[in-house]
Structures are given as structure tokens and as C-alpha cells.
Amino acid sequence: MKRVDDFRLQFGKHELVPIMIGGMGVDISTTDLALEAARLGGVGHISDAMINTVSDRRYKTKFVKDKLKQYKFNVENTDKAVVQFDLDTVAEATRLHVRSAMDRKQGSGMIFINCMEKLTMNAPKETLKVRLTAALDAGIDGVTLAAGLHLGSLGLIADHPRFRDAKIGIIVSSVRALQLFLKKNARLNRMPDYVVVEGPLAGGHLGFGLDWAEYDLATIVAEVLQYLRDENLDIPVIPAGGIFTGSDAVGFLENGAAAVQVATRFTVAKECGLPEKVQQEYFKASEDDIEVNQISPTGYPMRMLKNSPAIGSGIRPNCEAYGYLLDSTGKCAYVAAYNREVEAHPGARKVSVMDKTCLCTHMRNFDCWTCGHLTYRLKDTTVQRSDGSYQILSAEHIFRDYQFSTNNKVALPETEAA
């Protein structure tokens, strides 16, 4: 019976344990989590979602406060078009975050950054270019292009000195999306170094509609592998979404995958950015407590716990401080929904907004409890403490469980001292 450790992910001459921990914004996949993956010989991700906010929290900068000060005059205004990011601060925040990870990296693994196109930041091209360039400048091992088709993203960094040496991958949820990406970027003569194929059971935003349950990861992976064979393209394929045990992973590796990307199991790791109170909610969840809804202003369906405080919250949009989801015309679907409710309830001190959420504020505060579909199985991966709460795991324990387990088994942790 094979184990994940019997396989290796090969990037040129570089051999890795074929386990990639997926990017989880906003600082849920922390530097510490990525460092553990790299130390153990796999691939870890940091994320550049809400990078100025993360920088303030981690590196004592004051980017958010300064931006709010600059745009304070607009806070009461329903129109947010005027709110712009200062590109120098975005670059500086990205460099600080990447350097802090790369300076501390040990072991033979790699650290990548997850870069979501849907974070349009009121100037999609300019801000994405700055984020990608700064991450490469600061020495990131690789960039995973996420949440979007990224048809123009490679072009933004084609003249960067590290364009051909850094690893660059793309997340797709269909063979069609991969075909489009390859076609649009053909003139650059630079293939992606890996393709993450994310299925319908993943956490975060989904590349599927509300009919997600009709799709199946193994089928999409087989289609992508077939397409690459037909085109004579040798690109590592990395399935993601619902790979819960080492045996699940081995199934994909035996069928031609180069590695697996996993995330949900690591949401209850000590190194993960979620506060322990929230991790306990993940442990407690049953299958019925998890839903895919459309409250994300990005327009993509998102999976989360139904008791997330973000759902139904009608807080005032905070674009003057954040504003990561403002599109190229300065609009965000939450701002529109909020304005509509305020207008419908004149004089009300508080409104409730059911159809959209202020994702920036709620992700920043860990109040949008996005999760993978198999979150309801997390309780089976640990032991319960005498007070009924669940014991938090180490990232090393989870990583090694994926690496060495057989027979669909999940290794329980040693019970911590009382």
C-alpha cells in the first residue's frame, strides 16, 4: 500500500514532498504555517490578500490608518470611486511580508504566494502588477495565480528578471479555464510551472456556481491530464478540494497528479491564523452547518459556516480603510447592497444586509468563517479535552499524517498535558 511519501513533486532538479498547503487569505495561511510546510519538504503558501492590513498587524506599519486619514472626508459618501491605494505602500507591504517568510525559511521546501485577481483594489491592473512585482523582488519561490482567469497577469511581469526563474502556477476549476489561460499567454512563451485543479469541495471562493455538487474533482483532473497529454504539455497537475487523508492524496498521485493542494485540515493547526475560538467552531461543525452562498461581493460563490458573524451583518462599508474589492470603476456589490438597505430604512440606527457582506472587514476580523466542505470531519482528526473543546493540532502533525498515513486512517495527536 503506497503512501504520499512514496511520491515526489519535481520542479526541474528540485524534489519536494508532494504536499502543498493552499493559500488562505487574509493571513489564515500565515507565514508560520508556510514555514512549517517548507521545513518539512513541501510547499507552503502565504497570501497577499489585504496586504496593507496584514503588514500593519505583523510589521507595525500604519498603512491602513494613513489611508483612512487621507480619505476620511469620504466616509459618509455612498460613492467610493475616489478611494485609491497608494502603490508604493502596496509594494512595501508585499515586500515586508515576503521577506519575513523567506528570511526565516529552513528546509528543502518552498514558499509561494497566493495572488487573487478578484482583489481589484480600484485599479486592477496597476495593483496586481505591483503585488506580483514586489513579491518577485522580495524573493518569493513561486506565485499561485488564484480567483480569476488571469488572462493578462503574466504579461504584467514578463519583463521582470525573475519571470522565468520563479515558479508560477494557476488555479483552474475546468479544462476550459486552463485552455483560455494557455491560449492568451502563448505569445509569452512561458508555460505555467504547475496547474492547481480546484474542485467543488474546496474552501474560500469557488470556481463553480450553486450547482457545485454536480461536479467532481477526479473527473476534472482526468480531463485536464488528458488535455495536457493531447497537447504534449508536461505541466505538473495538482488537485485540490476535499483531499482529507493521505489515502485520498495517494489516489490522485497514482492517477497522474504531481502533488496535492490541501487546506481545510490545516485550519485547525496552531500555526494557522484563525483565532482558537473560531477553530473550535470549525471542529464543532456538522455537514448541515456548512453552506455555499453568494454573499461575497466578488460574484464568486463562497463556502462558509452558516453561523459566520459576517452573514447578515449590515456594517458600514469600510472602503476608506480597506477597499480591496472595489472594481475598476470604484464599485463593490456590498456598498450597493448597503446603500439600498439604508435608503429603504430611513432613520434606522442599524440595518441588516442579507445578500452581500463587507468581505474586507469580516475577513480581516476573522468573522467570515470560510471553510472546505469536509470541515465537518475535522472533529475526527483530534481528541476532545475534558471541557469538551477540541485539541488544536500542530502543522507538523497534520503534514506528517498526510505524508505517511495509509488505509484512509487519520492519526490522532498525543493528548496534551492538562
Q: Which residues bind ligand FMN (CB under 6 A)?
A: 22-25, 28, 47, 49, 114, 116, 146-147, 171, 198, 201-204, 240-243, 261-264, 267, 370-372, 374
For residue 237, the minimal CB distance to ligand FMN (Å) is: 14
Closer by beta carbon to ligand FMN, 20 or else 68: 20
Closer residue to ligand FMN, CB minimum distance, 7 or 71:
7
Nearer to ligand FMN, 16 or 171 (CB): 171
- Measured from the CB atom, the residue of 68 and 267 that comes closer to ligand FMN is 267
End-to-end CA distance of the chain: 37
Which of 181, 174, 203 lies closest to 261, judged by CA?
Answer: 203
Per-residue cell: 11: 520542479
* Dihedrals phi, psi of 125, to nearest 5 degrees: -70, -50
Cα distances (angstroms) measured from residue 34 to each of 45, 104, 277: 5, 11, 22
Segment holding 167, helix H or strand E: strand 167-172
Give the residue with the Cβ less far from ligand FMN, 335 or 371. Answer: 371
| Residue 363: CB minimum distance to ligand FMN, A | 9
CA–CA gap between residue 4 and residue 250 (Å, rounded)? 6
Taking the complex as a whole, the smallest distance from the CB of residue 104 to ligand FMN amounts, in Å, to 22
What is the nearest approach in angstroms of ligand FMN to the Cβ of residue 304?
Answer: 9
| CA atoms of 347 and 357, how far apart (whole Å) | 21
Tell me the Cα Rg of the chain: 21
Yes or no: say if 29 and 114 are a contact pair by the CB < 8 Å rule.
yes
CB of 105 to ligand FMN, least distance (A): 20
Starting at the edge strand found earlier in the chain, the sheet holding 204-205 runs: 204-205, 302-305, 290-293
The distance of closest approach from Cβ of residue 171 to ligand FMN in the complex, given in angstroms and rounded to an integer, is 6
Task: State the minimum distance, in angstroms, from the CB of residue 294 to ligand FMN.
Answer: 17
Contact 280, 387 (CB under 8 A): no
CB of 145 to ligand FMN, least distance (A): 9
Nearer of residues 36 and 320 to ligand FMN, judged by Cβ:
36
Q: Which CB atom, from 52 or from 264, has the smaller least distance to ligand FMN?
A: 264
Least gap, CB of 50 to ligand FMN (angstroms): 10
Q: How far apart are CA 167 and CA 192, in angstroms?
A: 8
Between 198 and 341, whose beta carbon lies closer to ligand FMN?
198
Q: Which amino acid is at 168?
A: I
Closer CB to ligand FMN, 334 or 338, in the complex? 334
d(CA 375, CA 283): 7
Strand partners, 237: 195
Amino acid at 76: E
DSSP-based three-state secondary structure for 169: strand
- Of 133, 170, 164, 122, which is closest to residue 150 (Cα–Cα)? 170
| CB 176, min distance to ligand FMN, A | 18
What DSSP string describes 309-355? TTTB--PPP-TTT--TT--TTS--HHHHHHHHHHHHSTT-S---B-S
User: Hey, what's the cell of 280?
Assistant: 473550535
Q: 62, 56 in Cβ contact below 8 A? A: yes
- Residue 291, classed as helix, strand or coil, is strand
74: DSSP letter: G
Q: For ligand FMN, give the closer residue by CB, 25 or 236.
A: 25
